[in-house]
Structures are given as structure tokens and as C-alpha cells.
Chains A and B, each alone.
Chain A
């Protein structure tokens, strides 16, 4: 780890101020990706701005037909939340499937989506549920937020403050984890509700994506049979020693059907 200045601001304003004053500042929430990167000397930020002490950023509440989750809410808090478990059980289950207990108790929803790891679970969760990402400047629909591998619509210095998730009629997340890292080799969120019928896939491609053909089929008939035989092309999907593109394409179908069945 190289040396850096460390700040733990108590307000968003202060965070933005410190960040803008830094020559190469970096926001940190749970640090689950950033800290290992620093330890391996693969990143060398001048300043680290830790968002964990900003009170307004953490917490979960039901607001009308949505559940609003603060950016620094940990995966464990989402997984254990009575609100999430009763309103969007698929999202609680997704949070429970992330990493291991250490990661779930440190990692946060805001950190996960701002990092947008192509194998992270939350991008599929939020895109599949049609969530809206709130920042200190604006509101961004999930459809516009996740723009590519480790890329998001966030501007320089823009800070995620919360996500607002519409409560679906039915939803489920089916995940095929990498047995070593427990990141998704393929993870599929299927949902039907106010945001329409959605199938969002993480892990398989360079970034989270929706499968329009499956959505159309499910719109007409929300059953696993309806999407039997609908496959995603392997071309362009990720391939590594853990799973080839062919296998990932196959798993998208399997996981989507399992998610539909689980969503009921």
C-alpha cells in the first residue's frame, strides 16, 4: 500500500469538498475492492475519502411503493432487513449471497454499484428491479447507470446517496457463483412489477445486461417454459478459466428459468 491522505467526513458537503480538493482522490465505502487493490499496490490515490461516517447515507425504509436503501448500507443489513425481506425478498436473498460474512458486513450497496464489477450481484438486482440511483446531484435510472465494465454514469466527484427500488409483484435472483470468489459467474434477476417485466444478467458479459427476448416471452406468460429455448449468444460474453463463453450463455438460460420458477 502506498501512502495517501485519509479523510472521514461527516457530511456529503464535506466529502465533496475534500474530494474536489484532492489531486487524485478516491471515494471509499466498504473498501471491499479498493483495499485489496491498494494492498497490491495496483492503485495509488492521493486521498481516500471514507463515506462510512456520513449518517444520512445509511438505512433502509419503505416509501410508498418503493424501498429506499442508503448508499452505505451493508449487504448484511439489506439481507437482515425486515423491510427488504417482506417487500423485496429477492433483494434480501441477493444480498445474502454476496461474498462471505466479512464482505457482507463491510461491503455496501453504494460501493458495489459505483464500482460496477461485471460479476457483482447488485447491478443485476437493481437493473432487474428497475431501481433508481440517487446521487448528490440527481436521480439516475438503473437502465442508464450501468454503462460498461467498471463504468457507470457517475460524473467526476458525484456521490451515490441511495437507491430507490420499486416493490415488484414477483422477483427472484438465481446465481451461479464462482466457487472460489463467490462472485457471479452468472446471476440473473427476474422481476415483474411497476418497472415492467425484466431479466437482468450479471457475470456473463462485460457488464450487466437485459435479455429482451426473455422479457417479451415472460410478459405474455411468466413461466419457466415460456423462456425454454431462448438463449443468449455466446459471442461477446466473458470467458476465463472458470467458465467459457458457451457455458456462460448456457447458464444464463438455466439461471433465468430457475429465477422464474422461484419467483412463482
Chain B
């Protein structure tokens, strides 16, 4: 049992404070909220992947029972409201910025993917809105859709956007081409690989939703929405979408049921719902249906990559060359340029001291839903390329997979290590992670287990991935230098109440991560307040001073850092109050665990007494010190954090059917200081489930006309509990050297390291290279082709 109640500080497995309301159905999600007099919105979505819109007739719909109004792109354009924006300018090989097409708030003269929002119907009831939507007549002129990247890039291909020639979003490079070419000339062996990183649909358990509310007396707009970063949403809505000014806009993201990146962005439905509320002078509510989520939530991954590794005679890596096509879908969103460039390319060196690396990425617009950051965002893709290539090299050279990696690891004494891919790794002990992983999985015993499986007619395989990622987004100056549009600090405000309890306002946003517990543990550790006495408030721009939200595994390292800094400010102010109350000099006041004492005496004051004195300042140094115990801190990290890990997967394949059974999944992680082991394990388990889902089950499929074939949970296979064994995870607890808590972040780790470990295991079992997901038929066909080749 977690030792809740005895120790609630950092490192304790405190049970999640938020779970009572989540598990008893008492959470308050956006769709649980209702505003007085609210109307309901329904969006008409495009049935075509590519079509011209020659006209939209909404007259019949406007006359339908219960309809308040129907709006199209023209109505929003007339009010100066525009659509989603891109948040990161990527500089191309030729020095020019990437191409971002102008995006209107609703589709105007054309549609570019199935599901693109064409019109909004607002009615008294949702059923009336849906009935009326059927009466909207859109004069579409369908055109052949460009679904595959190579078709969109082909000479003479039609253009999705007038302002994007050749459908090319950017052509970007990283690393040293000349040095890499020279390294390949010296190679004893070159391993080549062509791989596809499958496209995924996020499927957060809570669909996206929004309520727009306008207070005409205050001239204040409020958007209740499923956002991972409400302050960023407010900034973007005000600065770029014409829904400001910022001081007249409030964004509330209440309980949010999962995001995985898909709720970072400001979507058309949210923009239009908010605008409609002001236009109509009454609240407007919209909630996505699951089928709309499939079509309109930003998808993830979707890379085609050719990569080559140049290797010395003894297996030393000399150079790595990577060329990737990345699908960005129909238009850009906030991170859709950063994800396949910096968040991908900067990790191509992996855990290895490969001296020369060169990567190039072309991103392509296609008639599919926008693709953006999804759990791991670029780093699973990089890990996939590197660790497939390394595994294949080991096989081709006849060197044990673990030994080959060990020969090439960056040694623990070489940190900080300047990677050839821009970033400077801060810390890591890769041999230790691998050693421990090999012990836990019993690597030495694998061949005996394989034999035992063979005796039962099964093919057993083992797969390894040694991965590193960059997260804890991020040092603002670096992000700005690389083209990012916002700062990436975090803020925290600690307010002591007069009776000694604490309210913490954080700019991080929890949509399942457990901030209410972990941030309370930081307060408990540093201010001596039990977690039960700490209220963590997040997700409302009217209440929380500022914030950049939660993505990129940043809440622990950056949000937690801000909480720590604010706590230190409290401690220092409290020291002055204590000095006054204890009639000692400030220099003589010692602080530990929520108690101030005069050095060398038994005279003490508790933090609760200090708080009371601060708010009831009858005996207080008012001439030199303000009353109150309320401190705000901003934390902007010096570097990214670099979690790393060694993951083993073990599988058994049924050669008769091709079914892959996951037997074991071991993860040894360096995620820095572990603040709550139970929550870290939960994050890693969830990441494993998503990663194995990608490796074995999940696949977004569009047909050649751009219709989404995997448009429901009947056809898109989400992983289930019964697909998995009990996961085995351990953390090394090696602190990050450059943030105050030593935390590296663990939200994405599991999803970054596990897909390739799993695919490597399947390929090891069957002896044939295949792509993800390793579905039964794909595995069976690979075995058939191998058997035929052997004949």
C-alpha cells in the first residue's frame, strides 16, 4: 500500500488526491457544465477530402425548428475572425521560412479533408441542430484527393493551397552533411532501412468540447474548453484569431480527460463556438461526437524514412544519414512544424557517440486531417529510426544487440555531451540502464525460453530499445532561437491561508497526470504542510496568474520548478517574520521541514504560526515587511531535460495465425528524481500501452479518396488491458543537474521507447522486417514469404 499519511513529501507514493472525484463520477468536465440559456452547436463536416465549394445555402436550415442561427466562413471573415495558426517558424535549407497556408475559421472556398468544418448550426437542442444541418446545401465540386505524400509531392500535382507550391511545407536539414558523407566513405559496413511510422489517432477518453459565454455587461468572453494549456489558448485566440483583447477573454479548462497532445491546439470548433456565443448573445455549447473526434482531432506520427548507418569493422558507428517525409495533413497547427523538425531531428544521435549525423525532412500537405504533436511528438519517430537501424546492424554484422549498443554508448563521464544534432545532453548512464534491463528481463536466459516456445510450436522474440529524449519544454531563449513563437517558462503562485493551509495556483494543466497530488507533495516537502492541506488550482486564466500548460513532459521539470521557487520565496519571507516573532536576527533563523528555529535554542515557530502572523499582523514588522504570505515564481529552465531508458520487449508469435502475444515488457528509466513512484509507474504504464498499441494494433487508414476507413473504435484498434502482461518498470532516480527538483519528466518516455522495442521483438521472432503495426495478417504474410523464399 502507498504510505499515504505518514510521509507526503517528495518520493512518497501518495495516493492521487484527484482520483476520488474521477472514480466516483464527480469530475467536472466541459460537457458537465451548462450555462443559463445556452444553445447547442453542431458542425457540418465535409464529406469530401478535396472539393471546391461553389456555394452554401443555409436558408432552409435557418428556418428549421429550434434553430437560432447558421453561420459559415463568410460570417466569421466579416468579423475578422480567422482559423488555426502555426506556432513555430522552421527555417528551410534555402533559408526561407516554412510555408503555412492561411486558414479560415470555417472552410470557405474549398475543403481539404473529410471532417473539415464547413458550417455551424446553433439551435435550442442538439437534435434540432443536427436536423437542421441536414438541410444545409453545400455545392461541392469534388476533386481527386492527394492522400499519399509521394502523390502530393509529384511533379504537376494539384495544390491544396494556392500559397503553398508543390504542397511542400518545408525542406529542412540538421547536422553536417559533408562530415557524414566522409564518414560513409570510411565505412566497413552500411546498414540501410526504409521504414514507415504509422499514423495514429489520439482518442482521449473525453472528446473535445467547448462552451462559449459572453457577458455583455462586462464585455467579457469566456471559453470553457478541453485544453491542455488555457493561457496559451487565450493568447492565441486574442492575438491571432481576432477574439481579443486578452484582458476581455477568459479561458477555463476544467477537468480534462486525457490529451496526449491533441488538446494543445486551438481548433476551429472552439474558435467558432466562442465567436457564436458573442454574436448571438447567449452561451453556445458544443461537444464532439466520437466519430467527429476521429475525423477532426489532430493525428500523430505518419513518417516515411530512409536511413543508413555507417559502421566500422568492430561495430563502431561512424555516421548516420536520415531522410524523412512527414505528413502534416491538410494545414498547420501549433506544433506541426516543430514536431517533425527539431523535436525529431535533435534526437537522431540517440544514446550513441556517432560523430557525424545528417538528417533531412520534407513535410507535406495532404488531404487528410492535420497531423501534430502526439505523446512523444517527434522523439518516438527518432527513436524508431535509430533503434531499428541499430538492431538491424547488429543482426547484419553478427554482433549481439546489447554488445553493439554498449560499444557505441556515450560514456557516463562524457556529460554534458554535445550531440551533433544541436542539443547538449545533460546527463545519463546508459550502460547502467542496459545492465539493469538485461538483469530484469534475464537476457542470458532468453535462448532457453526461445527453445521452450519452439517446443510448443511458437516463435519467441526479444527486442531492445535504448532511447533518449529531450523534454521539459523548454529554455525560452533556445526555443525562440529555433523559431518557437512563445516563451516556455512556467509559473506558480503559493498562497498561504491564515489558518495554515495552502492554495497553489499552477500554470501547468493536469488532464490525468496527477498534478493535484505531486505539486502538493512539493509543498509538503518544502513547506511542511500535509498534502491534504494543499489545494492545487489550475486551468482558469481568471484565477491562475499565468501559465504555459502541459505538454512535452514539462509539468514536473518546469511546472514543478516554479512551485519549488515559489516555496523558497515563502521560506525566505517566513524567515523574516520568524526572526521578528522570535526576537532574533534573520541570520540566526534556521528552517527545516516547516519549522523555523533560532540556531542553538529550542525556540521555534511553525509555518502555520508564521502564516497566521502574516495575515493577522498585530505583532509584525510592518515598517519593513508587507503582510501576507503569498509568493509567485516563474521558472525558465536552462536546458531541455534528457530522460533515457533501456526497454526490453519479449513476444511469442503464433505461426499459424500471425498473432503476437506480449509476454514481457521491461523498462528501466532515468527520469530524474522520482517525486511519486506510483504516479511515475502509472505514466510509464500508460506510455507502454500507447507504444505497444502503435507497434501492434493502431493504424489510421484513409482510402484513396480520403475517406477515413478507421473512423470508429470498431475498426481502429485501441489497446486493451487484456493485450498486456504486467509491465515491469524501475527508475534510477538520477537527478537532472540543472533544475531545482532534479526532475527529468516521465509523461512521454513510455510511448517513446516502447514501440520500437516491441517491433524489434516481433522481427526477432519471425526473422523478417515488417512495419508497424505488426498485425496478425502482416506477420503471417511475412512468415509465408519467408517460407516461400526458403523453398
The verdict on A180 contacting chain B, using a C-beta distance below 8 Å, is yes
Residues of A near B532 (CB, < 8 A) are: none
A181 with B714: in contact, given A40-B291, A247-B777, A250-B780 (CB under 8 Å)? yes
Distance from A22 Cβ to chain B, minimum over Cβ atoms (Å) = 21
The verdict on A83 contacting chain B, using a C-beta distance below 8 Å, is no
- Checking A1, A2, A180 against B716 with a beta-carbon cut-off of 8 angstroms, the contacting residue is A180
- Checking B291, B715, B777 against A243 with a beta-carbon cut-off of 8 angstroms, the contacting residue is B777
A:10-49 near B, CB below 8 Å: 40-41
Q: How large is the interface on A (under 10, 10 to 19, 20 to 34, 35 or more residues)?
A: 10 to 19
A241 with B709: in contact, given A180-B714, A180-B715, A250-B780 (CB under 8 Å)? yes
Residues of A near B656 (CB, < 8 A) are: 254
Q: Are B127 and A180 in contact (CB under 8 A)?
A: no
Distance from B335 Cβ to chain A, minimum over Cβ atoms (Å) = 28
Contact flags (1/0) for A111-134 with B, using CB distance below 8 Å? 000000000000000000000000
- Checking A41, A242, A251, A254 against B715 with a beta-carbon cut-off of 8 angstroms, the contacting residue is A242
Question: How far, in whole Å, are A241 and B777 apart by their CA atoms in the complex?
Answer: 10
- Checking A2, A176, A178, A181 against B657 with a beta-carbon cut-off of 8 angstroms, the contacting residue is A176
Question: How far, in whole Å, are A254 and B697 apart by their CA atoms in the complex?
Answer: 22
The verdict on A147 contacting chain B, using a C-beta distance below 8 Å, is no
The verdict on B713 contacting chain A, using a C-beta distance below 8 Å, is yes
**Which chain B residue lies CB-closest to A181?**
B714
Question: How far, in whole Å, are A1 and B701 apart by their CA atoms in the complex?
Answer: 27
Residues of B near A41 (CB, < 8 A) are: 130, 134
B:268-300 near A, CB below 8 Å: 291
Q: Is the interface of A mostly helix, strand, loop or mixed?
A: loop
Residues of B near A180 (CB, < 8 A) are: 697, 713-718
Residues of B near A254 (CB, < 8 A) are: 656-657
B:490-546 near A, CB below 8 Å: none
The verdict on A179 contacting chain B, using a C-beta distance below 8 Å, is yes
**Which chain A residue lies CB-closest to B656?**
A254
The verdict on A223 contacting chain B, using a C-beta distance below 8 Å, is no
Distance from B594 Cβ to chain A, minimum over Cβ atoms (Å) = 48
Distance from A201 Cβ to chain B, minimum over Cβ atoms (Å) = 15
- Checking A1, A179, A251 against B717 with a beta-carbon cut-off of 8 angstroms, the contacting residue is A179
Residues of A near B713 (CB, < 8 A) are: 180-181
Distance from B441 Cβ to chain A, minimum over Cβ atoms (Å) = 25
The verdict on A135 contacting chain B, using a C-beta distance below 8 Å, is no
Q: Are B697 and A241 in contact (CB under 8 A)?
A: no
The verdict on A244 contacting chain B, using a C-beta distance below 8 Å, is yes
Distance from A99 Cβ to chain B, minimum over Cβ atoms (Å) = 10
Question: How far, in whole Å, are A41 and B130 apart by their CA atoms in the complex?
Answer: 10
Number of A-B contacts (CB under 8 A): 40
Q: Are A179 and B697 in contact (CB under 8 A)?
A: yes
Contact flags (1/0) for A228-257 with B, using CB distance below 8 Å? 000000000000011110010011001000
Residues of A near B291 (CB, < 8 A) are: 40
Q: Are B127 and A244 in contact (CB under 8 A)?
A: no
- Checking A1, A2, A40, A247 against B780 with a beta-carbon cut-off of 8 angstroms, the contacting residue is A247
Question: How far, in whole Å, are A41 and B42 apart by their CA atoms in the complex?
Answer: 14
**Which chain B residue lies CB-closest to A250?**
B780
A181 with B697: in contact, given A1-B127, A176-B657 (CB under 8 Å)? no
Q: How large is the interface on B (under 10, 10 to 19, 20 to 34, 35 or more residues)?
A: 20 to 34
Question: How far, in whole Å, are A247 and B183 apart by their CA atoms in the complex?
Answer: 45
Residues of B near A183 (CB, < 8 A) are: 714
Distance from B721 Cβ to chain A, minimum over Cβ atoms (Å) = 12
**Which chain B residue lies CB-closest to A257?**
B656
Residues of B near A181 (CB, < 8 A) are: 713-715
- Checking B127, B715, B718 against A241 with a beta-carbon cut-off of 8 angstroms, the contacting residue is B715
Question: How far, in whole Å, are A88 and B467 apart by their CA atoms in the complex?
Answer: 52
Question: How far, in whole Å, are A251 and B654 apart by their CA atoms in the complex?
Answer: 12
A251 with B701: in contact, given A180-B714, A180-B718, A244-B777 (CB under 8 Å)? no
Contact flags (1/0) for A205-243 with B, using CB distance below 8 Å? 000000000000000000000000000000000000111
Residues of A near B710 (CB, < 8 A) are: 241
Question: How far, in whole Å, are A62 and B291 apart by their CA atoms in the complex?
Answer: 44
Question: How far, in whole Å, are A251 and B780 apart by their CA atoms in the complex?
Answer: 10
Question: How far, in whole Å, are A1 and B780 apart by their CA atoms in the complex?
Answer: 41
A241 with B701: in contact, given A1-B127, A181-B714, A247-B780 (CB under 8 Å)? yes
Residues of A near B134 (CB, < 8 A) are: 41
Residues of A near B781 (CB, < 8 A) are: 247
Residues of A near B777 (CB, < 8 A) are: 242-244, 247
**Which chain B residue lies CB-closest to A183?**
B714
Distance from B707 Cβ to chain A, minimum over Cβ atoms (Å) = 12
Residues of A near B657 (CB, < 8 A) are: 176, 251, 254
Distance from B196 Cβ to chain A, minimum over Cβ atoms (Å) = 15
Question: How far, in whole Å, are A104 and B12 apart by their CA atoms in the complex?
Answer: 41
Question: How far, in whole Å, are A242 and B291 apart by their CA atoms in the complex?
Answer: 19
Residues of A near B723 (CB, < 8 A) are: 179
Distance from A62 Cβ to chain B, minimum over Cβ atoms (Å) = 32
Question: How far, in whole Å, are A244 and B777 apart by their CA atoms in the complex?
Answer: 8
Question: How far, in whole Å, are A159 and B716 apart by their CA atoms in the complex?
Answer: 34
Distance from B360 Cβ to chain A, minimum over Cβ atoms (Å) = 32
Question: How far, in whole Å, are A40 and B780 apart by their CA atoms in the complex?
Answer: 35
Question: How far, in whole Å, are A250 and B783 apart by their CA atoms in the complex?
Answer: 13
Question: How far, in whole Å, are A163 and B452 apart by their CA atoms in the complex?
Answer: 45
Question: How far, in whole Å, are A251 and B130 apart by their CA atoms in the complex?
Answer: 43
Contact flags (1/0) for B695-719 with A, using CB distance below 8 Å? 0010001000000011001111110
Question: How far, in whole Å, are A211 and B716 apart by their CA atoms in the complex?
Answer: 31
Residues of B near A243 (CB, < 8 A) are: 777
Residues of A near B697 (CB, < 8 A) are: 179-180
Most buried by B among A178, A241, A243, A254: A241
Most buried by A among B130, B134, B715, B716: B715
Question: How far, in whole Å, are A124 and B656 apart by their CA atoms in the complex?
Answer: 22
**Which chain B residue lies CB-closest to A179?**
B717
Distance from B209 Cβ to chain A, minimum over Cβ atoms (Å) = 18
Distance from A40 Cβ to chain B, minimum over Cβ atoms (Å) = 7
Distance from A117 Cβ to chain B, minimum over Cβ atoms (Å) = 12
Residues of A near B716 (CB, < 8 A) are: 180
Most buried by B among A1, A176, A180, A254: A180
Distance from A228 Cβ to chain B, minimum over Cβ atoms (Å) = 12
Residues of B near A250 (CB, < 8 A) are: 780
**Which chain B residue lies CB-closest to A247?**
B777
Distance from A258 Cβ to chain B, minimum over Cβ atoms (Å) = 8
Most buried by A among B291, B709, B714, B781: B714
A:62-91 near B, CB below 8 Å: none
**Which chain A residue lies CB-closest to B127?**
A1
Distance from B678 Cβ to chain A, minimum over Cβ atoms (Å) = 27
Distance from A189 Cβ to chain B, minimum over Cβ atoms (Å) = 18
Question: How far, in whole Å, are A181 and B715 apart by their CA atoms in the complex?
Answer: 7
Question: How far, in whole Å, are A247 and B783 apart by their CA atoms in the complex?
Answer: 12
Residues of B near A241 (CB, < 8 A) are: 701, 709-710, 715
**Which chain A residue lies CB-closest to B780?**
A247
Residues of B near A40 (CB, < 8 A) are: 291
Contact flags (1/0) for A167-185 with B, using CB distance below 8 Å? 0000000001011110100
Distance from A224 Cβ to chain B, minimum over Cβ atoms (Å) = 11
Residues of B near A247 (CB, < 8 A) are: 777, 780-781
B:742-791 near A, CB below 8 Å: 775-777, 780-781
Contact flags (1/0) for B113-143 with A, using CB distance below 8 Å? 0000000000000010011001000000000
Question: How far, in whole Å, are A2 and B130 apart by their CA atoms in the complex?
Answer: 9
Most buried by B among A178, A242, A244: A242
7 extra A-B contacts, CB within 8 A, seeds A41-B134, A241-B709: A176-B657, A178-B717, A183-B714, A241-B715, A242-B777, A243-B777, A247-B781
A residues contacting B by CB (< 8 A) are 1-2, 40-41, 176, 178-181, 183, 241-244, 247, 250-251, 254
15 interchain pairs (CB within 8 A)?
Answer: A2-B131, A41-B134, A178-B717, A179-B775, A180-B697, A180-B716, A180-B717, A180-B718, A181-B713, A181-B714, A181-B715, A241-B709, A242-B715, A244-B777, A250-B780
- What 10 A-B pairs are tightest by C-beta distance, nearest first? A180-B717, A181-B714, A247-B777, A179-B717, A254-B656, A241-B701, A243-B777, A180-B715, A241-B709, A254-B657
